[in-house]
Every structure is written in C-alpha cells, then in structure tokens.
Structure 1
Amino acid sequence: MFGFLKQLFSGSETVPVDNSPTVEPVHYNGYLIFVMPTEEAGQYRVAGLIEKPVEGDEDAKNLTHSFIRSDLCMSKQQAEQITLQKCKLFIDQIGDDMFK
C-alpha cells in the first residue's frame, strides 16, 4: 500500500501536458480505442481510453471516456487483449451514452 501512495505522490513520472495518450489507437465502429494497461506489483490492470472524434469542427476536442477495471492479468499481452475485447463490447452495448 505504501508503494502505491509513494507512486501517487511522487513527481518522478512525467505526464504529457495535453493528456493525450502515447499509444496507437485501434479503430472500431467510429471510435478510437487506446489500450493502456497499467503495471501493478508484477501484474497488469486492464485500463484504457475510448475516444470519438467530433465531426464538423476541427477545433473541437474528441469525446473521451477513460477507465480502469479491477481485472488483473499475469502478462501485459493478456491485459491488452482483454482491454480491447472489453472496449469493443462496451462500445457495442453503450455507444455514445458513455460520454453522458
């Protein structure tokens, strides 16, 4: 637990100023899926970001929905696969309502 608090309050990790993800998105039904599992104690937590580009206004920011699940995986590859599957299912079930 103290390791988590130390990571939370330490300033050692740099965050992009515009908070844009640094991974290549997967295009799915008009959405962009950014698969970004996080490492925790040697395991990987399912996490990511779903974006939908706003059409018609190039200056408008994309609609975004970020998430962190409780699922933990032994490998990063497995976490990436599960993240992508869950994102696609979430998009199919919820659609644009995720941005409300």
Structure 2
Amino acid sequence: MGFLSTLTSLFSSDNNNAPEAAPVEESTEYKGFIITPSPMSEGGQYRLSAAITKQTNGQQQTHTFIRSDVVASRDDCIEMTIRKAKIAIDQMGDSIFS
C-alpha cells in the first residue's frame, strides 16, 4: 500500500466494517401493552429480550424485558419472548413500570 493510499484510507469511511443494524421485529399488542421482541445474539444463541410499552395518560411508558434464557433459533427466541412477556404482563400489569 502506497503512502497516498494509506492517507486516503485514514480519511475515508469504510462501510464494510459497520455493524449490522438488528432487524426490527413485529410488535404484538396484548391487553393494551405493546411487546416488541429484540433477540440479543450471544455466542451463537439468542437471549430473550423485548420492550414492553403502554400509553398511559398521553405518556408512553417503557419497560425493557431481558431474561437469562437463551435459545438456538432466532424464531424460537421471538416466540418464547412474547410468551414470557405476556406472563409478566398478566402477573404485574401496570406495576411493570414501577
């Protein structure tokens, strides 16, 4: 690599090394809450994670839901995340935001 090439590479952006944006998953409405899964890639598996949101008195409240569970399949992770988030909503209701 020549001197000029080295200088050019220092000041140019290389989009090939940019991290890939995680795909946005489809949200699910459940009892007035919105569950948006966001599986976390971890060591070749996926950790259960989601945002649980609800509009209350014109304000949006959000709870980040992260579980210790990991599964091999992204699709299984999304399905399990939604199921566990629904259980949390059933058990805690609006107190999930406190």
Any unmatched runs of 5+ in structure 1?
Answer: 1-11, 16-21
How high is the TM-score relative to the length of structure 2?
Answer: 0.73
Cα separation, 1, equivalents of 2:38 and 2:51: 7
- Structure 1 or 2, whichever has the larger Rg, is 2
How high is the TM-score relative to the length of structure 1?
Answer: 0.71
Name the one with the larger strand percent. 2
2:92 is matched with 94
SS of residue in 1 equivalent to 2:29: strand
SS of residue in 1 equivalent to 2:49: strand
2:76 is matched with 78
* 1:52 aligns to 2:45 (yes or no): no
- Percent of pairs with identical residues: 37
The CA deviation string for residues 10-61 of structure 1, in whole angstroms up to 9 with x for no partner, is xx5588xxxxxx4331010000000111101110000011000124x3xx3x
Q: Give the letter for the 1:86 counterpart.
A: K
Name the one with the larger helix percent. 2
1:24 is matched with 26
Cα RMSD (Å):
2.0
Moved over 6 A (4+): none
2:65–2:85 contact (8 Å) kept in structure 1: no
Cα separation, 1, equivalents of 2:42 and 2:91: 29
Any unmatched runs of 5+ in structure 2?
Answer: 1-17
SS of residue in 2 equivalent to 1:53: strand
